[in-house]
């Protein structure tokens, strides 16, 4: 099993405030890694570090390395636009563009000139919607507004939009927090299918979701990675007392 992302002695600062401290982590290729911990512990900040979305916030600074396929993504020569193509993001709340279902999925391939003609673009849209388990529900209404879809469908549309540009990694920041239980289970099942082809990193407050859906889990506390292990071991036999206290509800 290959390492897709390696994190070495990584520190992140908002101005003078150190939000992440000396992180060390390995994210395996084509596996699901969950990041858990209380609000404000740094897990979403870390997720955004993985595709340099925090670059858009003034006054931030990083130390250490995050390697994607062996290359430091914070090296000066890295093309951030290309990086964000390789590492896509699905946000907490579904955020389809106020366009048609088709145009939402076609947006990235159009911007990046990935299709040579309409037939190729049509195929990219179809295959992306199929991969997001949405094609059968929307194939006869592709020109309808994306905002007419229900929340679960909208989130799967956002996943289709993310994978349309052929990323290596998909980041998901609380992707089910705005969904009902049925839609949540649907997205979790989709994650398992996508992990056959993509490396997935998910932030979740739902520890049952982390236990159900992930292969590896990292527990964050006050900007530090307290423990990282395969999910079954971390939940059944955590090494650290703080991890056990958190997952049993005695700390939170």
Query: What separation, in Å, do the N-terminal and C-terminal C-alpha atoms of the chain show?
Result: 33
In a domain, 125, yes or no: no
Strand 216-221 versus strand 32-36 pairing type: parallel
**Cα–Cα distance measured from residue 142 to residue 135, given in angstroms and rounded to the nearest whole number:** 9
In a domain, 159, yes or no: no
pLDDT in tens, 151-210: 999 999 999 999 999 999 999 999 998 888 888 999 999 999 999 999 999 999 899 999
Using alpha carbons, select from 172, 100, 106, 173 the residue that is nearest to residue 143.
100
In a domain, 135, yes or no: no
Contact 44, 36 (CB under 8 A): no
pLDDT for 93 beyond 90: no
In a domain, 243, yes or no: yes
In a domain, 213, yes or no: yes
Q: How confident is the model at residue 252 (pLDDT cuts 50, 70, 90)?
A: low
Q: How far is CA 57 from CA 42, 63, 152, 172, in A?
A: 15, 16, 30, 20
Q: How confident is the model at residue 97 (pLDDT cuts 50, 70, 90)?
A: very high
Domain total in the chain: 1
In a domain, 153, yes or no: no
Residue 219 structural domain: 3-94+168-247
**Cα–Cα distance measured from residue 182 to residue 190, given in angstroms and rounded to the nearest whole number:** 13
CATH, residue 177 = 3.40.50.300
pLDDT value of position 192: 94
In a domain, 157, yes or no: no
In a domain, 160, yes or no: no
């Amino acid at each position: 099993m290959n390492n897709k992302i390696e994190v070495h002695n990584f520190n992140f600062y908002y101005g003078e405030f150190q939000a992440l401290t000396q992180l060390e982590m390995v994210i395996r290729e084509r596996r699901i890694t969950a990041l858990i911990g209380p609000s404000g512990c740094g897990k979403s900040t870390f997720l955004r570090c993985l595709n340099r979305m925090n670059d858009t916030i003034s006054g931030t600074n990083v130390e250490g390395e995050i390697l994607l396929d062996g290359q430091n993504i914070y090296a000066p020569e890295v093309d951030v636009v290309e990086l964000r193509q390789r590492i896509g993001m699905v946000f907490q709340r579904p955020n389809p563009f106020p366009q048609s279902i088709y145009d939402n999925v076609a947006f990235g391939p159009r911007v990046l000139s990935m299709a040579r003609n309409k037939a190729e673009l049509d195929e990219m849209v179809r295959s992306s919607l199929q991969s997001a388990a949405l094609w059968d529900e929307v194939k006869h209404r592709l020109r309808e507004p994306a905002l007419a879809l229900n929340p679960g469908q909208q989130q799967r549309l956002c996943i289709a939009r993310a994978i349309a540009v052929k990323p290596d990694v998909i980041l998901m920041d609380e992707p089910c927090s705005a969904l009902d239980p049925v839609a949540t289970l649907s997205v979790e099942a989709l994650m398992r299918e996508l992990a056959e082809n993509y490396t997935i990193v998910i932030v979740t407050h739902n520890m049952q979701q982390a236990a159900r859906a992930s292969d590896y889990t990292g527990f964050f506390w006050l900007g530090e990675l307290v423990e990282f292990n395969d999910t079954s071991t971390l939940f059944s036999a955590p090494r650290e007392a703080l991890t056990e206290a958190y997952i049993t509800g005695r700390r939170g």
